[in-house]
């Protein structure tokens, strides 16, 4: 193996088996794992975010799991800085590190930074549109003015589309929209090998449905109930909690809420696949081909 540094990144939809593969690769290359799942950062959330269990956490050194509170302000920009600093440290000890997760924006932040305007989850734009329809353009102007005063000085303040675009970037990345304009190209001191996991849709959806059933048996209902005082925090605007909040509000039955979790998780998985399939650097493998993946990586870095 050369002295080059390699970040092996495992991506794919939820419930596909990324955690198990990351541990297998960490053992193969005697290295540590960075979690790149934006829901697993928060220590108050365990069952609904499918955090690796105690045995999995003990099997390899993990970073960025339960390292923040849901009351903390933490952006993709913060994660990028912390992850790059950690990789700089890890690469002084080993030539390989593993990153694993399904949060596409966070993966992109580490692998290439933001050379251009990042793609933002459409859920954020939907929420901004709803607020604009309720409160009008003055709400948009106030939000952009507070989050990015520099851009606010130059933007056409009567153009809601431009204001919404700036605001979604501010919210989605935690960084001012203006900071992405005329940015210098990012450089990384490592080579990137991206492994994508996929499988037949029916198999994936069965895995998702099964995982939700397991989560309910393990106590997701009680975990969601304990989160009710924090339900308005960004960390909890996510599948698995919102549906159960509707149940607690009396808007739906528990059975319906569980079915909604399954349906919305399947939709989330489709969005993840759409995001990652746009990246031509992803090397796709079907699940269960661990030995082929190891062989591919060894050939790549040899």
Give strand pairing partners of 7: 97, 192
CA distances, 160 to each of 90, 124, 128, 167, 250 (Å): 45, 15, 11, 10, 35
Is 15 flagged in the annotation as binding?
yes
Is 19 flagged in the annotation as binding?
yes
- How far apart (Å, rounded) are the C-alpha atoms in residues 22 and 31? 10
Is 12 flagged in the annotation as binding?
yes
Is 14 flagged in the annotation as binding?
yes
Query: Which pair of tokens denotes residue 126?
Result: 């939907």
Binding-site members for substrate are 14-19
Binding-site members are 12-19
Binding-site members for ATP are 12-19
């Amino acid at each position: 193996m050369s002295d080059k540094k390699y970040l092996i990144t495992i991506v794919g939809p939820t419930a596909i088996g990324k955690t198990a593969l990351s541990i297998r690769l960490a053992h193969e290359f005697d290295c540590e794992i960075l979690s790149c799942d934006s829901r697993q950062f928060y220590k108050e959330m365990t069952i609904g975010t499918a955090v690796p269990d105690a045995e999995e956490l003990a099997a390899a050194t993990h970073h960025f799991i339960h390292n923040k509170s849901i009351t903390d302000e933490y952006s993709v920009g913060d994660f990028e800085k912390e992850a790059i600093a950690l990789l700089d440290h890890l690469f002084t000890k080993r030539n390989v590190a593993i990153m694993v997760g399904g949060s596409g924006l966070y993966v992109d932040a580490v692998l290439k930074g933001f050379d251009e305007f990042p793609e933002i989850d459409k859920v954020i734009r939907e929420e901004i549109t709803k607020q604009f329809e309720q409160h009008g353009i003055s709400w948009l102007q106030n939000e952009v003015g507070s989050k990015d005063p520099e851009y606010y000085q130059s933007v056409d303040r009567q153009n809601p589309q431009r204001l919404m675009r700036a605001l979604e970037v501010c919210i989605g990345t935690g960084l001012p929209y203006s900071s992405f304009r005329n940015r210098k190209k990012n450089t990384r001191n490592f080579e990137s090998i991206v492994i994508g996991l996929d499988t037949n849709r029916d198999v994936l959806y069965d895995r998702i449905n099964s995982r939700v059933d397991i989560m309910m048996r393990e106590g997701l209902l009680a975990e969601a109930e304990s989160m009710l005082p924090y339900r308005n925090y960004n960390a909890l605007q996510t599948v698995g909690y919102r549906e159960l909040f509707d149940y607690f509000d009396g808007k739906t039955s528990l059975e319906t809420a569980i079915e909604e979790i399954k349906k919305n998780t399947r939709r989330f998985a489709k969005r993840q696949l759409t995001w990652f399939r746009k990246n031509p650097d992803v090397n796709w493998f079907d699940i269960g081909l661990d030995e082929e993946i190891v062989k591919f990586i060894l050939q790549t870095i040899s």
